Structure 1
Amino acid sequence: MALVGPPAAGKSTAMRAFFAAQPGLAHFAVRVFFGRQAAAGTPLGLQAKAFAEQARWLPDEFVGQGLATFLEEELPAASGVVLEGFPRNADQAQLLDRVLAGFGLELGRFVLLDVPDDVATARVGQRQVCQRCDTFVENGVLVPDASCPRCGGAVVLRRDDAPEVFRERLWHHRESVRELLAHYAPRDLVSRVDGTGSPEAVAEQVREAMVFHVS
């Protein structure tokens, strides 16, 4: 299952509640996966760090290599796989099809988290991110000198969350969603979930959208 939504839609927050209620699933998020690879010093991680140092987006084919590595490691013990925030556009959707086909798999459900722009904008103004481990910290109010509850690192407003940048990200998301719906709707894979509720309520809607069974 792929879960996609606008920036600051609460995907990661809802996923924490979802996985707490659905153990046994493997979870792939591009930023998290490559962050762990970088921390472990793997070849993928070192290459991802090099892209970051050059202020470059990770190329799609490189992300595909990461996803294939993830599936090789996680599939044997997983009852299912949830892709958070991936694919982002039609090119990545086609890449995902190819990677899954290599494992004899196909996507079971494309879940779109619907959140109005004004709600996403309000949410992004209430979060900071840890400079060390990249964990989002929901403070409600940006507190000077706050620290990450996971690792104790300094937390700051992410550059991508600056108002003018965030408005552009929302616009790109809307354009990308049109491509993704055109790719998945003919295959009857699309489910829409109201992302304005509590993390637990969103997690329950996501669970109901699943088409594979969790033992």
Structure 2
Amino acid sequence: MRLLIMGPQGVGKGTQAALLSEHYGIPAISTGDIFRYNIKNKTELGVEALKYIDKGELVPDELTNKIVKDRLAMDDAKNGWILDGYPRNASQVEALDAILADLNTPLDAVVALDADHDVLMERMKKRAEIEGRSDDTPEAIAKRLDVYAKETAPLLTTYEERGLLKTFNGVGSVEEIQSTIVAELG
């Protein structure tokens, strides 16, 4: 099974990706993890990405696309994967289409988790307190949710038009949400 998991920050994508990974026996792949792996191992792509990250800049789509393609082509992803954090914009959707065509691996579904803005703000504030993240100020959280709403949320329409979108409420117990997703996906 090849899945994208999408939704705003704080909705529980990482948690659900990990549970679905275990359930289906396929890797949960987060773009953040891919970048960290490539940087830590000083791969050519990691060294290139670090040049942007060190300057506080976004890694260009072209480089992100290469890193994603490289990861999806690995042996452990041959039977499927759950991709979290990609695509984030329309050009990355096109790039993912090309990557999947090259790998001859169609996308099976897009799992979209949703929750009310106030719920997300509250979750993120709690996470900031627990993890002590300096980038989780109320202003920074609101800005990230706004960026998601403007750039990434519109991609859901693209996947809905392709008949791939499955939307789930991200509020409730972790187990309830997971069983609802699994029941829908099969």
**Do both proteins adopt the same fold according to a TM-score greater than 0.5, normalized to the shorter chain?**
yes
TM-score, length of structure 1 as denominator length: 0.78
Q: Report the aligned-residue RMSD.
A: 1.9
Shift of 1:86: 1.5
Shift of 1:178: 4.5
Corresponding position: 1:6 with 2:46: no
Corresponding position: 1:188 with 2:149: no
Aligned to 2:150: 175
Aligned partners of 1:26 and 1:79 also within 8 Å:
no
Aligned to 1:88: 88
Shift of 1:197: 1.6
- 1:157 aligned residue (133, 140, 165): 133
Whichever residue aligns with residue 138 of structure 2, its letter is P
Structure 1 unaligned spans of 5+: 129-140, 143-154
- How has the CA–CA distance of structure 1 residues 63 and 208 changed in structure 2, closer, same or farther, with 3 Å as cutoff? farther
Aligned partners of 2:30 and 2:85 also within 8 Å:
yes
Aligned partners of 2:29 and 2:82 also within 8 Å:
yes
Give the alignment of 1:204-215 within 5 angstroms. Answer: 204-210=179-185
Aligned to 1:32: 33
Corresponding position: 1:116 with 2:91: no
- How has the CA–CA distance of structure 1 residues 178 and 122 changed in structure 2, closer, same or farther, with 3 Å as cutoff? closer
Aligned to 2:175: 200
Structure having the higher helix fraction is 2
**In 1: Cα distance, 2:134 partner to 2:123 partner:** 13
Residues 112-166 of structure 1 deviation map (CA, whole Å, 9 limit, x = unaligned): 10111111111111124xxxxxxxxxxxx54xxxxxxxxxxxx53141x221121
Whichever residue aligns with residue 2 of structure 1, its letter is L
Aligned length in residues: 184
SS state at 1:107 partner: coil
Aligned partners of 1:184 and 1:190 also within 8 Å:
yes
Residues 71-102 of structure 1 deviation map (CA, whole Å, 9 limit, x = unaligned): 22135x64211111221122211111111111
**In 2: Cα distance, 1:182 partner to 1:15 partner:** 21
- How has the CA–CA distance of structure 1 residues 208 and 93 changed in structure 2, closer, same or farther, with 3 Å as cutoff? farther
Aligned partners of 1:89 and 1:180 also within 8 Å:
yes
- Bigger radius of gyration, 1 or 2? 1
The worse-fitting range, judged by mean Cα deviation, of 201-210 and 165-174 is: 201-210
Aligned to 2:75: 74
Aligned partners of 1:111 and 1:191 also within 8 Å:
yes
Aligned partners of 1:8 and 1:123 also within 8 Å:
yes
- How has the CA–CA distance of structure 1 residues 119 and 33 changed in structure 2, closer, same or farther, with 3 Å as cutoff? same
SS state at 2:172 partner: coil
